[in-house]
Structure 1
């Protein structure tokens, strides 16, 4: 069996890059009392929207139990608030608290800064090509996931 090096494995390199992205984001968000785990919720609700836990989990492409735990921690920390969904008595709608909404621009700025740093080694046309190819990889894996 011929083994390829980790630097030739798309899965390994993508996972490594994701971990480096998360650590870079965490360093920037820590002074705000936030982490990369908060980003999907901050982005989804950052424009003042309210969403159910189910909708948030779908938007973030994460499992419901993970989203439930994230929302519980964020509620405990005063970052999200919940209210009953008037259209579904069994569901709750989540929104950012005013305290968290004030941090939404800083979260966006941290993401922009980390993305710029990550892509800084590439020429502009390489960035576009890289992001285009990455989008195709994600789409292909998404089709695989759906069966």
Structure 2
């Protein structure tokens, strides 16, 4: 039995993720952020002062990946870290003024990246695709719980 990668949801999802990442990278680079930083920015735009542990829990990212992402964001002037007032071992993460000012443009860049990849989709097709993606992600989360 031959494996047809174009019939594989896993293979296609990987290609699609890379496509979205590339489309966001092109737009985000002009604003000063990388695609891997965007989920962290979204969380911090929603609620500043989170700890690295809270970000890990919310974003389901590996510890090493998160540490590298935060170090790069700090280096790039997007975040600052401050000692947690109640937990000497933790640091809270805050956005810089630069990162706060780019929120609208960054969200618009992400929407434009999505639109470029979903060009030609009817609204209901996009909604169905998103629903199917959420279902697959829920299955993946359940699978992770039973592993």
Q: Deviations over 1:86-124 (max 9, x none)?
A: 121110000111111111211111111112222222211
Deviation of the 1:47 alpha carbon: 3.5
What residue in structure 1 maps to residue 41 of structure 2? 42
What residue in structure 2 maps to residue 121 of structure 1? 120
RMSD: 1.2
Deviation of the 1:4 alpha carbon: 2.8
Matched residues in 1 for 2:45 and 2:80: separation? 13
**Structure 1 spans left out of the alignment, 5+ residues:** none
**Contact 1:48-1:96 at 8 Å conserved across structures:** no
What residue in structure 1 maps to residue 105 of structure 2? 106
> Is the aligned partner of 1:58 residue 2:57?
yes
Matched residues in 2 for 1:143 and 1:47: separation? 26
**Contact 2:19-2:117 at 8 Å conserved across structures:** no
What residue in structure 2 maps to residue 87 of structure 1? 86
**Contact 1:79-1:97 at 8 Å conserved across structures:** yes
How many residues are paired up? 146
**Structure 2 spans left out of the alignment, 5+ residues:** none
Matched residues in 2 for 1:74 and 1:143: separation? 31
Matched residues in 2 for 1:99 and 1:62: separation? 24
Q: Which has the higher contact order (CA 8 A, sep 6+)?
A: 2
TM-score by length of 2: 0.93
